[in-house]
Amino acid sequence: MTGRVLIVDDLAVNRIILKAKLGSACYAVQSVASGAQALAQARRGPPDVIVLDLALADMDGVELCRALSADPATAHIPLLVVTGAVPQARRLAALEAGARDVMVRPLDENTLLARIRNLLRDAETEADLRRQEGLCQEHGFAEAQGGFEACARVALLGGAPRLALSLRRQIAAQCPDVAFETLGPAGALNGAAGAPVPDLFLILPGADEGNTGASGADGDGLRVLLDLTARRATRHSAFVVVLPAEAVAQAAMALDLGAHDILWLPVDPAEAALRIRAQLARKRRADSRRRAVETGLNLAAIDPLTGLLNRRSMAPQLLRLAENSRRTGRSFALMLLDLDRFKTINDTHGHGVGDQVLRIVAERLRRVVRPGDILARHGGEEFLLALPDVALPEARARAEALCRAIGDTVIEVPGGSVRVTASVGLTLCGGGAGDAPGWGESTHPSLESLIEAADRALLQAKSDGRNQVMVGQSAA
C-alpha cells in the first residue's frame, strides 16, 4: 500500500531507523526535527500519516497532537505516536489530544507496519466519504442531518466469562452514556432481524486472562472478526480487539483483518474508555457522511416536486426492463400520461396551484403502481409508467383505470376547485403479444423508439378528444 508518511523526531537516529523501516515497505517518507517544521509541512502538503515522538526539543508532543487535530487543514491526518517509555498519564494525554495509538520503543516491525496500513486504510475510507459528500454538496444534493444521536451500543464479544464481566463493569463505569452488552460469537453473527447492530465490538481473547492459548487471540476472536467485517449488517461497525501482552503477532494480524484498535491486557479502564469513545466518534462521522451521500444519490434520482423517479434515473431501469423482455420473450407495456389543458390551470390559478395538481396526480399514480412497475415524471405535466410482463388487455384496463382515477379527483384550490383529466398513449413492447411483433435477437429497439411509440399514441389520444387511452403500434 502506497502512502506518504511524515516522521517528526528531534533525534536523527530515530528518524533514520523509522525511515529505513517504512522506506523498505515502499512508503514515501519525509522527516522533520521539530514540531514547528511538522506543522508547516503538514499544512503545506498534508501527508497520509504522521508518526511523531512525544519528546521534541521545541514543542511538547501532546501539544503538537492537539494543534494538528484542531487545525481543519490537518485534522483528518491520523497521528501515530512512537516514543520511549512514558507514564500512563502521558499516554492518555496523547490519546486525548488526538493520537490514534501510542507505540513504545523498541518497536516490533510487523506491528508497526500493520498499524500504518491500518491507519492508511481508515484515512482512505474517510477521504472517499468526504469526496462523495463534497460532490453531493457541490451539486446541491446534500441535506442537513438531524441532530439527534441514539445511545451508542458496545458489545463485548466472546472471552472467558470472568474477563468479560470484569471488563464490562470497569469500562461501563467510565462511559455512563454508552450501552454495553455481552454477546457470544453466534449472537453477534446471527443477530435478530431488525435488532440494532452494535456500534462497536470489543472482541476478547477466548482463553482465560493472561493466557495466549490457541482458542484465544489467534483463534476464535480473529475468525469472528473476519466474519463480522465481511457481513453487510456489521461491516461498518468499529472493532477493537483485546489481546494478552505477549500476543504481538496476533496484533498485527488483527489490524490487517480489519480491527480498528488494540487493547492490551491487563486493560486500563481509562485508556479503554478513551479508545472506545474515539472509535465511536469516528464511526458517527462516517455514518453521517454515508447518510449524506445516500441522501444525495436519492435526491439526484428523484423529481423534487412529485417524489417520483426523474427522467435520468428512469432510463437505466427501462433499459433493464427492455433487456429482460428480450431475454424472456415476455411483453411489457409502456404508457405516457399527459394532463389535459394543464397550461390553462397554470394561467388561471397560478403555478403554485399547478404544482399542487402535479403532486396530487403523482400520489394517485403512486397508489396504483405494483411492485416491479416503473413510474417516473417524464417532464412537465407528463408521466411515464412501465408495466412488466403484461398482455394488451390488462395494460389497457390499467391505463383506463388511471384515466378514471385522475378524472374523478377534485382538487380544492383557493377560490374554488380544479378537476383535471389525462390522456394516455399506450404501446406494448417486445414478447410475442397479440398484435405486437415479436422481439427477437435481430430486433432490439432503442429506448428512444419505445418512448416515441407511446408518444405517438398519446398525440392521437389528444387529437381525438383527450381524456382517453389510445393504443399505438408496438415498438419491437
Active centre residues (catalytic): 381
Cα–Cα distances (Å) from 309 to 49, 63, 302, 362, in that order, read: 43, 52, 5, 11
Residue with cell 453487510: 232
Name every residue whose Cβ is closer than 8 Å to that of residue 53 and which is 6 or more positions away in sequence: 8, 9, 10, 11, 14, 61, 81, 82, 83
**Letter string b/e over residues 259-280, b meaning 16 or more CB atoms within 10 A of that residue's CB:** bbbbbbbebbbbbbbbbbbbbb
- Between vectors from CA 123 to CA 57 and to CA 262, what angle results, nearest 5°? 75
Cβ atoms of residues 202 and 181 within 8 Å: no
CA angle 92, 69, 123 (to 5 degrees): 100
C-beta neighbour count of 219 within 10 angstroms: 16
Q: How far is CA 151 from the centre of its chain?
A: 20
Single out the residue of 413, 263, 397, 387 nearest to residue 331, CA to CA: 387
**Dist CA 476 CA 473 (whole Å):** 9
Name residues whose C-beta falls within 8 Å of residue 278's C-beta, 6 or more positions apart in sequence. 95, 100, 261
Instruction: Write out the DSSP string of 218-249.
Output: IIIIHHHHHHHHHSTTTTTSEEEEEE-TT-HH
| 291 grid coordinates | 447518510
CB under 8 Å to 408, separation ≥6 — which residues?
none
Measured between alpha carbons, how far is residue 247 from residues 222, 250, 263, 265, 274 in Å?
12, 5, 11, 10, 22
Q: Which of 109, 81, 77 is nearest to 96 (CA)?
A: 81
Q: Which residues contact 209 (CB under 8 A, 6 or more apart)?
A: 160, 162, 163, 244, 265, 266
